[in-house]
Structure 1
Amino acid sequence: MRIDLHTHSTASDGTDTPAELVRNAAAAGLDVVALTDHDSTRGHAEAIAALPEGLTLVTGAELSCRLDGIGMHMLAYLFDPDEPELSRERELVRDDRVPRARAMVGKLGELGVPIAWEQVARIAGDGSVGRPHIASALVELGVVETVSDAFTSDWLANGGRAYVEKHELDPFDAIRLVKAAGGVTVFAHPGAAKRGDTVPESAIAALAAAGLDGIEVEHMDHDEPTRARMRGLAAELGLLATGSSDYHGSRKTVRLGEYTTDPEIYGEITRRATGAFPVPGAGGRLLP
């Protein structure tokens, strides 16, 4: 059983539409895929409508959080998307994305980069605009070679020359809100140091004590020593250890299913969730 619990579509900063994403997940031999767009559940309905037979969809979102000045992402699975308090917080984060992106475009202009807001808006399309869209603009302009190359201190990494903060959740509040909505929380790529500062292990222990369910261990931004350290930390703290591609379509080189989650861990996630349930494929038809 092949399970990928972290992917993005055009509902945020991926390049596959939600329908394309589930079809591509089935073609990649996945049995389960989670759609976890940034702070958004907007792609879920389209993904469900297109879900091929044999593929199960886990609905979710990747929540933008900040702890002691350090940005971090919280994967939230199988929560009730209509729970009012969590919906309000996700809306606040989404609403701040456009002014934040415009401010980063302004900073890049001051650095001599001939970038225009219209270019970024075109790349983002109907998705929730974010740094990957700006990074793609930098690739188009020849400023950097790849999207990943834009996430350095020179450009868009946390604390980088063109970085601008946005409204983000306190992760302890995120855990509380997701739990209240019947969901399960997993700290995404906690050891991804090349993205910027990471929260200390003592903070992960405090999050675990507050109800965090798991940490993402198998991830493209974790080298093997980091994975080993995160596996040990998960075991020490009694956290679920997941694996995921963090697929963004053509915006990243990682493939769907390149990193996966153990079926027993997936089973525990589904057992803990009460806000929503995995959706089995119906051959591209909406379930009754």
Structure 2
Amino acid sequence: MSILEGVESVLDMFGHHRHEITFNDVLDELGLAKSSASRLLAQMVRYRLLELQPSTRRYRPGALLIRAAQAAAQAHPFDEQCREILATLSDATGFTAYLSMLDGTDTVVLQRLNGSNPVQVLSPPGARRPAFTTAMGRVLLSRLPEPEFNSRYGAAGTRKLPDAPAGCPATVAELRERVATARAERSAIAVNEGMPGIGAVAATLADPLSGDVRGLCLSFTAMQVSQAQAQALRATLVQAVAPVGQRIGDPLWLDATPLI
């Protein structure tokens, strides 16, 4: 493994619902020898890609990495437009808002906006989830051309999806149906799917200039919101996203078909 492959592998570990990692995590998950892991982590700390917490001996993203991530976020005005939509909705509803992207067959959180509600659904930036298990994932998948969808999941509808949680599509054919619904409705809703007790509504925006596609989501606990309220929340999200999509020229939102 080259030094850059090692750095990539270590940094990718932070994308799995973790803020910190340990030396043993690196050994177990990357299969490195102790000497190699120690050398790699020491170099990453030296060059500020990681920060070692003296009291816990755990590693966190370093100052250089955080600064680069902040600069990247500021360099994308499209993301800022998405964030403004989410900030308005989060302030109005009190729910947690997420801005995400699709990476392979996973969704990746880019930004999280905490709401004012005392009960929050929190996943850190960088967190990944299988796209087929979430409303966010299915609206992002709905943006893919058919060949691209097939390259990620295969063309065989009978193919089973790995470890499908209760309430989620179990096969590629079932996922196609859910994705087709998300495409037709330009949004998706999921309650008690993938994460028991959690609900979410999601929609997407695409930047015609860069080709970037972003998922915008409001998340809540299932006990906070009835099914009727969740549907109303989805309509509110769509109504907030649509005019921005029309203004930037996103083809999905230029259609004159009445919105849900």
Whether TM-score is above 0.5 comes out as: no
Max radius of gyration: which structure?
2
Structure with the bigger percentage of strand: 2
Normalised TM-score (structure 1): 0.25
Q: Which has the higher contact order (CA 8 A, sep 6+)?
A: 1
Q: Structure 2-normalised TM-score?
A: 0.27
